[in-house]
Amino acid sequence: MAVTDVSVIIVSWNTRDILRDCLESVYAQTCNVSFEVIVIDNASADGSTEMVRRDFPTVRLIENTDNRGFAAANNQGLQLAAGRYVLLLNSDTVVLDHAIDRTVAFADRVSQAAVIGCRVLNRDRTLQPTCFMYPSLLNMAIFALGLNRLLPGSRFFGRERMTWWKRDDEREVEVVTGCFMLVRRTAIDQVGVMDESFFMYGEETDWCFRFRQAGWKVLFAPRGEIVHLGGASSSQAANEMTLQLKAGVLQFLCKHDTRARYISSCMLMGVFLALRIPFWAAKAILSRRDRRNARSHLFTYAHGLGRIMRGWKGLRGVPSVR
């Protein structure tokens, strides 16, 4: 029986048109490796599943009756995947420059790598800075005070997102972003699948951490590029996604750090949210043109602060694609 080189797993939620573009790019740009495509649909209501069945009959399609979350849906795909590698690919991406072929070829030469990411571009082809450091008390303090925005070129203040790095060379990183994440099957067999307690955001950070703890490397290699539109599903519930992002960070720290540092991180997250409430409150009162948007932001930050004070729990029932 022929060996499949890579299983491409795409989780989708109401992204029919951009999912079509993504699938077309996968088939057009992947020529030198054998591959299969698995689409996990998280109860879309926009005709996504009908489009896949009609236009891409070779795709293995799983239709969930409810939104199971990003980690759980990817795990469904992992159970079906036959490839030596698994590629987690967001539905709002377009593969360029034979990125899958080239990343697999690179992975074959670096046997100690569990996870490899590629170069990611925005819609206008400017660089999208993927890959980042683990959440930490220091990184959260820099973020809460806005120092990363004031000095993005600083290696210290831009440390968590590595904003000073042009993503133009190969290097070992702590976290590869989940929009394009090539993972070695033998590493998955050793470490296990994604932690489904992370509904959305934080799951790839947790997974990369576990791979590194087991002695594997997590690498970035600019071997090919993709376009990542970003937020195609999450923009449909933007406020919930803002809070879910914060919940994912705190959930990771709760799982992997000390209780004292976790509590301190919750306090820092509270500071971050509290500092933004007066600005949006003033804008909600004073701005006529942008009042609705300001009120929405005000509610989000106030609600998040309330969750911090009550003991943060992750959100459920929100979109599962970034």
Closest among 121, 85, 129, 79 to 103, alpha carbons compared: 85
| pLDDT digit string, tens, across residues 99-135 | 999 999 999 999 999 999 999 999 999 999 899 999 9
| pLDDT digit string, tens, across residues 200-222 | 678 999 999 999 999 999 999 99
**Which is higher by pLDDT, 302 or 172?**
172
Categorize the per-residue pLDDT at 235 as very low, low, confident or very high, splitting at 50, 70 and 90: very low
Helix boundaries (H) for 121-202 = 137-144, 147-150, 185-191
Residue 245 CA to chain centroid, in angstroms? 10
What is the pLDDT, as a whole number, of residue 157?
A: 92
What is the pLDDT, as a whole number, of residue 286?
A: 86
| pLDDT digit string, tens, across residues 52-101 | 999 999 999 999 999 888 899 999 999 999 999 999 999 999 999 999 99
What does the CA dihedral 88, 19, 106, 155 come to, rounded to 10 degrees?
-70
What pTM was estimated for this model as a whole?
0.88
| In the chain, where the domains are located | 6-131+167-228, 236-310
| pLDDT digit string, tens, across residues 254-306 | 899 888 888 888 888 888 888 889 998 998 898 878 888 888 888 888 888 88
Extract the tokens encoding 176: 């590869």
What is the pLDDT, as a whole number, of residue 270?
A: 87
Categorize the per-residue pLDDT at 231 as very low, low, confident or very high, splitting at 50, 70 and 90: low
| Tokens 């701005």 sit on residue | 287
First to last CA, the chain: 36
Close Cβ partners of 206 (under 8 Å, ≥ 6 residues apart) = 194, 195, 198, 252, 255, 256
Categorize the per-residue pLDDT at 233 as very low, low, confident or very high, splitting at 50, 70 and 90: very low
User: CATH number of the domain at 6-131+167-228, please?
Assistant: 3.90.550.10
